[in-house]
Chains A and B, each alone.
Chain A
Amino acid sequence: MKESRWRPWLLLSPSLTAIFFLLVVPVLFVVVYSFWLRAPTGAAIPAFQFGNYARFFEDLFYPTILFRTLRVSVICVLLCLVMGYIPAYFFYRSKSRYRQALILLIMVPFWISFIIRTMSWINILGANGFLNYTLMRFGIITEPLSLLYNEAAVLMGLIQYLLPFMILNIYVSLEAIDKNLLEAARSMGCNEWQAFREVTLPLSLPGVSAGCLLVFVLTAGTYLPPMILGGPGNEMIANLIFNRVIGTLDWPFGSAISVILLLLLGCIVWTYNRYLGINTLFKAFKS
């Protein structure tokens, strides 16, 4: 079969061409631009220097945003984990007739437009929103609380967006556990909690780590929730990039910040790949 040697390349050529010209080359351009200068006229001058990177770390303003992005991402991962593991475990163990329907239901928000889901929190957290109204109605508070435009509001939007990813990843790896192992643990005298701790929890860790990585990466690159639910002073790194590129048209500096974000995520994905293998990440999508 001589011709089968070039056939895979023929089959791959459209997608590789697309990824080359629409991803690889453009990202290389970002890297190159990040070393260039911005002329007072706004044009980028091809001159190799590290000024944009130096500028990022000189003033505390930019590292603060980077640090906030990291902090929000870590908090978001932890909250998604805490809020996601138990429902996933519920799906796994439940014998309810409605189990399938419930799993489908948790996927529904995934289909609903991200911007609608994000802005929906304004209706809940706003001064005349659902939460303030309910609390005042029951006389718990007399003045509306300002719940919007802070980091907690950003986290609400983020968790609602990312939780299905976490739940699904954990559920897929729980479902893959051989139920005989649990029987074995039980017959060896484990109680329910011990069996969970010794068998179920360790075996679900691949799903947990895949979910955590996905949530982290998606949070670190997030633009919308800080923009809509966070006030000034809650921007994250994606907002910074957007403002530099679209707002002040400072392409070289915006590119440098993009490279910093890419490097940060690259390190994390690389570490994950080294210890767990990147392919484990896509299991949940395949189900």
Chain B
Amino acid sequence: MKLPFSGWSLIRLYTILVYLFMFLPIVVVIVLSFNPQQFASFPMQGFSLKWYVQLAQNEAILRAFKNSLVLGTLTALIASAIAVPAAMAFVRYSFRGKNTLNTLLLAPIMIPEVVLGVALLLFIRWLQQPKSFALLLAGHVILTLPYVLLIVQARMVSIKRVYEEAALSLGASPLQTFKEVTLPLLMPAVLAGMLFSFTISFDDITATLFWATAEHQTVPVRIFGMLRHSISPEINALGTVMIVFTIMTPLLAGYCIRRFSKN
């Protein structure tokens, strides 16, 4: 079952090159963020943390970070709160139009974000409402709902029905059964879905550019604004913070889930 040596090593070399393509730009962002010069360019003239200091004093960025955190957390909570019952309905019951409705709920993945951005903005304009945090939140919930639904549904399929039936036959109400049996078994998927939803919300730019107001800017919208001038080491420093943050979040969450489930 082994390929001729040359063929396999070519495949390996090719894979390494693909990894290089994927990671070189990211590594360069991190490296250039320590460049003391005014411009993000090579060759580097030393090593300095001054852009990080400047970043920490940038009020607009700090506010955007706070906005993004609040928005991402609320999005994750709401999206999972409505996705869990929906997943339950799709997996545990059969009813007419099930497949169509399932596809409908997954539609936001297939609809371009610009169209969704225009559509929701048009709708609230028609309702004569101003742009607000609520619009941003509603939009992000719709953007992330399909992913949470997919993750929770996949897990729900693998939870055997007998556990629920046992609880029901012992006299538990459907709500009790859900709270005592289904939800605890489902929890890893719910947490994974929330994490996914948080990340998508934290990261979204295209639709958010339509919905964000001046006082409710998110981090990507802020970066977008900064990029209009030119790329500076400060943006690279911010990029590095974001990279560390987005890589640490799933790792930390994974660690917490493991510790949580041991207890």
Contact = CB atoms under 8 A, between A and B. Distances in A.
A160 B19 CA distance: 10
B136 to A, nearest CB: 12
Given A8-B95, A11-B85, A217-B110, A111 B250 contact: yes
Contacts of B25: 117, 120-121, 123-124, 160
B99 to A, nearest CB: 8
Contacts of B43: 133
B140 to A, nearest CB: 10
A160 B114 CA distance: 20
B89 interface: yes
Interface stretch (B51-59, B159-167, B231-239): B231-239
B101 A12 contact: yes
B29 A123 contact: yes
Nearest to B155: A286
B115 A15 contact: no
A133 B35 CA distance: 15
A160 B22 contact: yes
Contacts of B82: 14-15, 18
B122 A23 contact: no
Contact of A241 (B103, B111, B118): B118
B60 interface: no
Contact of B243 (A9, A27, A116): A116
B223 interface: yes
A177 interface: no
B3 A192 contact: yes
B223 A18 contact: no
Contact of B220 (A109, A115, A217): A115
Contacts of B23: 109
Interface string B74-86: 0000000111011
Contacts of B95: 5, 8-9
Contact of A108 (B89, B92, B126, B247): B247
A224 interface: yes
Given A29-B119, A122-B40, A238-B206, 7 more contacts: A11-B85, A11-B88, A15-B145, A30-B122, A86-B15, A105-B19, A112-B26
6 A-B pairs with the lowest CB-CB distances in the bound complex, closest first: A221-B112, A128-B41, A26-B119, A120-B25, A133-B42, A286-B154
20 contacts: A7-B89, A11-B85, A14-B82, A19-B108, A19-B142, A27-B111, A30-B118, A30-B122, A116-B243, A119-B227, A123-B28, A123-B32, A217-B110, A224-B206, A228-B227, A241-B115, A261-B115, A262-B111, A262-B115, A286-B154
